[in-house]
């Protein structure tokens, strides 16, 4: 089976993990900090806080941004549910802005309209869909006018660059950026996430929230006399100064991610080559087209999405995917618009308000894209798709 996405593990990755298992701390050890420093250095941010998943990263970022009952967050309807759920976790509300049909990213014009229609906007989460960076300068202007905090959802975009050459994650237009290290992402940690920021106060709050609201090392103590007595420090003493969570990542995961990070540029380059070939084959095919055709040189290329007018093609998406599977090819749909989900319908959301997102969803299908996909396998995928549609 050729899956739509797949991690790549080599002997250096295995060795990195076994070194921790044989010699190191399994959790709360030095590999976590080493991983955080490596990520911050790679993207050009001052700070990075590693957590156990991208969803946890979004949750903590929403709390730091001030999401709470009576406050609202705006995000894209075309993203995984975690981008919106982050607000609900914190007791806040969610609104959406439609996508740009050319980029599948949140439309700045629709975002501006959503800000104007809704009050108490505390945060905006633009999603760099499939690794293509959003128009962050325009989004930041809209956020500043609304006095809202920007949290970039870059779960797809590690290794991507803005048009000015800076790395996604440097937080030049946001307070925080989150990444994911799920196995189908460019860098795999099994599970894992990171929040990057350039704000020291934000960094320390994220550290506290990651571990039960406790930070033993760098926060001023509320009761310092409890720690220092008789000229000696009570090494056991800690303070829970706010409500936090157990969102810690392990040293095992961090060691794997560190090893993978060394290969990231190679991973992204191979994905670009595969995307270029797909584009050449499908851009003029007529029966389908690439969902994104702009900014290829800047994207992290997490996904390759085709848009197919299934009605015009005379085949349902279910039948098309079944036929692919019968030929040993996996596919997926990214994503069902969040306002279509039963929970969000219960909250009063109507997907009909986002026609670009709905139109995209009705045509979208993700086809295989990953580092170890061979040229022959890609040629087979292309051939089968063309045969089905013809």
Token pair for 80: 């995984």
How many other β-carbons are positioned within 10 Å of the β-carbon of residue 40? 21
Among 139, 186, 182, which residue's Cα sits nearest to residue 159? 186
Question: Residues with Cβ < 8 Å from 188, sequence gap 6 or more?
Answer: 7, 8, 9, 181, 182, 256, 257, 260
Task: For residues 308 and 282, give the distance between their C-alpha atoms in angstroms, rounded to a whole number.
Answer: 11
* Torsion angle of C-alpha atoms 49, 53, 54, 58, degrees rounded to 10: -70
Q: What confidence score (pLDDT) does residue 153 get?
A: 98
Token pair for 236: 């056991």
Q: What confidence score (pLDDT) does residue 216 get?
A: 73
- In the chain, DSSP assigns E strands to 47-51, 72-75, 93-96, 121-125, 149-153, 176-180, 193-197, 228-229, 232-233, 289-290, 304-307, 364-367
Partners of 177 in the β-ladder: 152, 196
Task: For residues 257 and 253, give the distance between their C-alpha atoms in angstroms, rounded to a whole number.
Answer: 6
* Torsion angle of C-alpha atoms 93, 154, 249, 266, degrees rounded to 10: 170
How many other β-carbons are positioned within 10 Å of the β-carbon of residue 109? 13
B/e letters for 180-219, b = 16+ CB within 10 Å, e = fewer, are bbbebbbbbbbbbbbbbbbbeebbbbbbbbbbbebbeeee
Q: What is the pLDDT of residues 139-179, one digit of tens each?
A: 999 999 999 999 999 999 999 999 999 999 999 999 999 99
Statement: residue 219 has pLDDT above 90? no
- The whole-model pTM stands at 0.97
Query: pLDDT band at 220, cuts 50/70/90?
Result: confident
Q: How far from 315 is each of 269, 311, 321, CA to CA, in Å?
A: 34, 6, 10
Give mean pLDDT, residues 265-278: 98
Would you give the DSSP letter of residue 340? G
Question: β-strands 93-96, 72-75: how paired?
Answer: parallel
Q: What percent of the chain has pLDDT over 70?
A: 100
Give mean pLDDT, residues 323-344: 98
Task: For residues 138 and 124, give the distance between their C-alpha atoms in angstroms, rounded to a whole number.
Answer: 12
Statement: residue 239 has pLDDT above 80? yes
Task: For residues 98 and 88, give the distance between their C-alpha atoms in angstroms, rounded to a whole number.
Answer: 20
Q: What confidence score (pLDDT) does residue 237 get?
A: 87
Among 201, 177, 194, 170, which residue's Cα sits nearest to residue 247? 194
Statement: residue 229 has pLDDT above 80? no
Give CA angle at 117 (111, 122), nearest 5°.
65
Q: How far from 255 is each of 205, 221, 323, CA to CA, in Å?
A: 24, 32, 40
CA 369: distance to chain centroid?
17
Q: Give the chain's domains with CATH numbers.
A: 11-261 (3.40.640.10), 264-389 (3.90.1150.10)
Exposed/middle/buried for 221, CB within 10 Å: 0-12, 13-18, 19+?
Answer: middle
Q: What is the pLDDT of residues 193-215, one digit of tens each?
A: 999 999 999 999 999 999 999 97
Question: β-strands 176-180, 149-153: how paired?
Answer: parallel
Query: pLDDT band at 5, cuts 50/70/90?
Result: very high
Task: For residues 173 and 243, give the distance between their C-alpha atoms in angstroms, rounded to a whole number.
Answer: 28
When mean pLDDT is compared across 207-216, 262-271, 300-309, the lowest value belongs to 207-216
Query: pLDDT band at 368, cuts 50/70/90?
Result: very high
């Amino acid at each position: 089976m050729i899956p739509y996405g797949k991690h790549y593990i080599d002997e250096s990755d295995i060795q990195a993990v076994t070194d921790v298992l044989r010699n190191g701390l399994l959790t709360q050890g030095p590999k976590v900090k080493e991983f955080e420093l490596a990520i911050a250095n790679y993207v050009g941010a001052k700070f990075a806080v590693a957590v156990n998943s991208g969803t946890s990263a979004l949750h903590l970022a929403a709390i730091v941004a001030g999401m709470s009952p009576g406050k609202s967050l705006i995000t894209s309807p075309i993203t995984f549910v975690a981008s919106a759920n982050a607000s609900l976790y914190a007791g806040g509300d969610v609104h959406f802005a439609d996508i740009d049909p050319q980029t599948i990213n949140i439309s700045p014009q629709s975002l501006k309209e959503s800000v104007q229609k809704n009050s108490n906007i505390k945060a905006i989460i633009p999603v760099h869909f499939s690794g293509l960076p959003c128009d962050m300068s325009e989004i930041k202007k809209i956020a500043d006018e609304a006095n809202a905090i920007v949290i970039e959802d870059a779960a797809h975009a590690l290794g991507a660059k803005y048009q000015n050459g800076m790395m996604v994650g440097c937080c030049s237009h946001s307070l925080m950026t989150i990444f994911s290290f799920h196995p189908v992402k460019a860098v795999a940690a099994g599970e894992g996430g990171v929040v990057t920021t350039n704000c020291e106060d934000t960094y320390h709050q994220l550290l506290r929230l990651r571990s039960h609201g406790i930070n033993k090392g760098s926060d001023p103590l509320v009761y310092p006399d409890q720690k220092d007595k008789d000229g000696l420090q009570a090494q056991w003493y800690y303070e829970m100064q706010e409500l936090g969570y157990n969102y810690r990542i392990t040293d095992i995961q961090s060691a794997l991610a560190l090893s993978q990070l060394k290969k990231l540029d190679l991973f992204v380059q191979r994905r670009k080559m595969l995307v270029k070939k797909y584009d050449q084959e499908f851009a003029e095919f007529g029966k389908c087209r690439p969902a994104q055709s702009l900014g290829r040189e800047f994207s992290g290329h997490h996904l390759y999405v085709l848009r197919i007018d299934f009605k015009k093609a005379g085949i349902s998406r279910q039948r098309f995917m079944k036929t692919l599977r019968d030929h040993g090819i996996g596919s997926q749909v990214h994503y069902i618009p969040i306002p279509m989900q039963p929970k969000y319908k219960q909250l009063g959301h109507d997907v009909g308000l986002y026609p670009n997102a709905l139109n995209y969803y009705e045509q979208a299908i993700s086809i295989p894209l990953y580092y170890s996909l061979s040229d022959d396998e890609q040629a087979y995928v292309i051939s089968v798709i063309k045969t089905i549609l013809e």
